Structure 1
Amino acid sequence: MRIAVIGAAGRMGKTLIQAIQDANGVELGAAVVEPSSSLIGADAGEVAGVGKLNVTMTGDLSECVADFDALIDFTTPALTVANAAFCAANGKAIIIGTTGLDDDQKAALAKAGETTQVVFAPNMSVGVNLTLKLLSLAAQILGDDYDVEVVEAHHRHKVDSPSGTALRMGEVVAEALGRDLKECAVYGREGQIGPRTQKEIGFETIRAGDVVGEHSVWFATEGERIEIVHKASSRMTFAKGAVRAAAWLESQPAGLYDMQDVLNLK
C-alpha cells in the first residue's frame, strides 16, 4: 500500500514517514505540506531524517492523487473534513488522527465512509485503545458507586481541550454506565461549587512543556481508588498505530471504522 502523509514537514508528519519506513507492506507514496512551504520540491525522506526516498514534497493533495492509496491525516478539523471528501471522491482510503472535530464534522466523515474506507480515532495508540477496553470493563463492574474523574496532560502547543482521547475515555465510561456524557460531564472546577453529584464525570486538563500525552482515569469511592493510566513518551506510538490502520484498511470495504475495529477489540 502506498501512503500519503499530509503535514509531512511537521513533528507528527516526520514521525509518520519514519514509521512507514519501518513497517512492512507499505511505502511512502506522497508527502504534502502547506502551499506556502519552502520545503516544496524537497525529498520527503531527507526532511524526515530517514534518507533519500525519491518522494518530492508537494503543496497540493490533488497534484499527487495518482501516487497514493491511503492518506494519513493528523491536521486540523476543517482541513481533515476537506481531505476526507477529496479521498471519497477519488477512491482513496483515509486514516484520521485529528482531534477537536464537532458533531457536524464527524457527520461529514461518516458521509465519506459511505464511499471509501475511513479510520477515525482520537488516539491511534494500540496501548490507548486497549486502555479504552479496560475502562469499559472497569465501569461495568464498579457501577455508580464510584466517582469518575479524567485527568489529562499534553504539551503547551496543543490547541484543543480536553484532549480527544480524554473525551473518548469519558464517552466509553459513560456508555458503560448508561449515561450521556454531554449531560454528565463537568469540565474543571472553581469556586464554591458544592459537593460533586453522583453521576458526573469530571475532566481536568494540564498543558505544560513537551508532554506527549498522559491520561489517567480515577474510579474512587469511600476507602479505595482505582487508577487506569496511559503515558505516551513518543509520537511514534501514534504513528505506528496509524500505519497499522492503513495496512488493515487495504482489505476492508467502504465504511467508517475506529481503532477498536483495527485491533479487533469489539
Structure 2
Amino acid sequence: MKYGLVGAKGKMGKEIRELFSSHGDDLVLEVDVDHFVERGIPEVIVDFSSPNAVPTTVELCKRYSAHLVIGTTALTQEHFELLRELGQHVAVVQSFNFSEGIAIFQKLLRNFSRLFTDWDCWIVETHHNQKKDAPSGTALMLKREVGREVPISSLRIGGIFGEHVVYFANANEVFEIKHSALSRKVFASGARKAALFCLKAKKGFYNFLDVLEGGIEHG
C-alpha cells in the first residue's frame, strides 16, 4: 500500500510509520509543519495531526485522488462538512478512536443503554498530560451512544494513553464498563485496517465501526 502521512513527525505519526513499515507499506508522502516530502502518489492518506491541518489534508486527497483515514480530535462542524464533501469523491474513514475495543464499547452502549434509562450515568476519561482537548472525542462518541445528556469528567495526568469508563448507578447497584489503551500501537493498527478498507470501499463517509463490520455507507 502506498500511503501519505500528515503529522509525520508527531508521536502518532511515528507509531503509524513504524507499524505500516512492518507490513511492507510504502510511505510516499510526508507532511508536517514546514515539512513536505513527496516520493510518489499515495493511494490513501492518514492524518492524526491537528484540526488546523484538515483543509490541507482534504486538498491533498483531492490532488492525488487518495482516500483518507483521519483520527484527528476536536473537529468542528466545518471540518465535518469538508470531510463529508470529500466523501463524495473518495472513501473517508473518520473516528476519534481507532481502537477495536472502543468500537465494541460503542456497540454495547448502543444496544444496551436503554436498559439503564432510570439509572444515573457518568463518563470519566483519562489521558496523558499533553492532550489538549477535553473532553476527549472518544468520550463524546460514547456519550452519543448512551443517548441522553451525560456529565463527563476529564483527567489529564501522567502518560496514560487513554482510559474511558462509563458508570451506571442506582441506589443499590453500580455497573461500569471500562476500556484502557495500553499503547499507541492499538490506534496505528486500527488506522491500517481502515486504510486497507478504503482501498476496497466505495466512495463515502465511514466510521471505524463500518470498517469492522464490513462497510455501511453513511450519507
1:158 aligned to 2:157?
no
2:164 to 199, 215, 225: 215
CA distance in 2, matches of 1:28, 1:19: 11
Other-structure match for 1:231: 180
Other-structure match for 2:23: 23
Change (3 A) 1:81 1:228: farther
1:134 aligned to 2:133?
no
CA distance in 2, matches of 1:210, 1:69: 33
1:110 to 75, 80, 84: 84
- The C-alpha deviation readout for 1:207-254, integer Å capped at 9, x for no partner, is 011111100001111211111110011000000000110011101111
Other-structure match for 1:241: 190
Q: Given that residues 164 and 178 in structure 2 are in contact (C-alpha distance below 8 angstroms), is that contact kept between their aligned partners in structure 1?
A: yes
Change (3 A) 1:16 1:145: same
Q: Given that residues 88 and 113 in structure 1 are in contact (C-alpha distance below 8 angstroms), is that contact kept between their aligned partners in structure 2?
A: no
CA distance in 1, matches of 2:32, 2:173: 50
CA distance in 1, matches of 2:14, 2:111: 36
Q: CA RMSD in A?
A: 1.7
Other-structure match for 1:71: 45
TM-superposed deviation, 1:89? 4.1
CA distance in 1, matches of 2:2, 2:137: 28
Other-structure match for 1:148: 121
Other-structure match for 2:69: 95
User: What amino acid sits opposite 1:165 in the alignment?
Assistant: T
Flag the structure with larger Rg: 1
CA distance in 2, matches of 1:106, 1:251: 23
Q: What is the count of residue pairs matched by the alignment?
A: 215
Q: Given that residues 123 and 151 in structure 2 are in contact (C-alpha distance below 8 angstroms), is that contact kept between their aligned partners in structure 1?
A: yes
Other-structure match for 1:191: none
Q: Given that residues 28 and 40 in structure 2 are in contact (C-alpha distance below 8 angstroms), is that contact kept between their aligned partners in structure 1?
A: no
Gaps of 5+ in 1: 36-58, 185-200
Other-structure match for 1:49: none
